[in-house]
């Protein structure tokens, strides 16, 4: 079983988060394919049981590069239902679009029929950091990876 993690990153903040989400997924025994957006291919989608997307916050939404990937994913529309999904992001300030970015990604994943899971703990909708992720942010990333790894195990069997 495998989760594909796709991320965009300009300053390295979202990348740091991606590495920690990866650790969380791997702690459950699920493999990870981690790709920066310019190396990612939509043709990887059918071969993974899950997709986690990370993006810097740009005008309250994921970057155009991430959006381009989502637009192209229409190639597999109707063939991805039941996979596990999640989203994380890094923003420049507090309450400056992090929640809306994560929710935008969650919505796109729901349109593909994905299975999502929130948390009653920190960062309910998905992991988010303001600027460089601190230890608490990174722990939210790790936990999200763990949560979604476990969800892949439950739903793919």
Sole binder of a second copy in the list 34, 114, 138, 144 (CB under 8 A): 114
Sole binder of a second copy in the list 123, 133, 146, 149 (CB under 8 A): 123
Which of the stretches 15-23, 28-36, 46-54, 114-122 binds a second copy when contact is defined by CB under 8 A?
Answer: 114-122
- 84-91: strand order across its sheet: 31-36, 2-7, 50-56, 84-91, 128-130
Q: Is 99 helix (H, G, I), strand (E, B) or coil?
A: helix
Least distance from C-beta 114 to a second copy, angstroms? 6
Rounded CA-CA distance 70/42 in Å is: 8
Q: Is 89 helix (H, G, I), strand (E, B) or coil?
A: strand
Q: Is 46 in the site for a second copy (CB under 8 A)?
A: no
Rounded CA-CA distance 81/76 in Å is: 10
Q: Quick count: other Cβ atoms within 10 Å of Cβ 47?
A: 9
Q: Give the DSSP letter of residue 93.
A: S
Least distance from C-beta 9 to a second copy, angstroms? 14
Least distance from C-beta 126 to a second copy, angstroms? 9
Sole binder of a second copy in the list 115, 141, 144, 152 (CB under 8 A): 115
Which of the stretches 24-32, 34-42, 46-54, 73-81 binds a second copy when contact is defined by CB under 8 A?
Answer: 73-81
Least distance from C-beta 131 to a second copy, angstroms? 12
Q: Which tokens go with 16?
A: 């740091």
Spatial CA neighbour of 31 closest among 154, 145, 155, 157: 145
The binding site for a second copy (CB under 8 A) comprises 58-65, 67-68, 70-71, 73-74, 77-78, 80-82, 93-100, 103-104, 106-125, 128, 130, 151, 154-155, 157
């Amino acid at each position: 079983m495998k989760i594909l993690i796709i991320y965009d990153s300009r300053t390295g903040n979202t990348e740091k988060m991606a590495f920690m989400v990866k650790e969380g997924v791997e702690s459950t025994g699920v493999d990870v394919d981690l790709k920066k957006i310019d190396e990612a291919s939509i043709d990887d989608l059918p071969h993974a049981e899950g997709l986690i997307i990370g993006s810097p916050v740009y005008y309250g939404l994921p970057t155009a590069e991430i959006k381009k990937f989502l637009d192209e994913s229409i190639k597999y529309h109707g063939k991805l239902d039941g996979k596990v999904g999640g989203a994380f992001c890094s923003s420049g300030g507090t309450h400056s679009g992090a929640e809306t970015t994560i929710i935008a990604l969650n919505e796109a994943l729901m349109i593909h029929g994905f299975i999502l899971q929130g948390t009653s703990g920190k960062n309910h909708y998905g992991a988010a950091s303001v600027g460089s992720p601190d230890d608490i942010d990174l722990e939210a990333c790790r936990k999200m990876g763990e949560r979604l790894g476990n969800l892949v195990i439950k739903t793919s069997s």
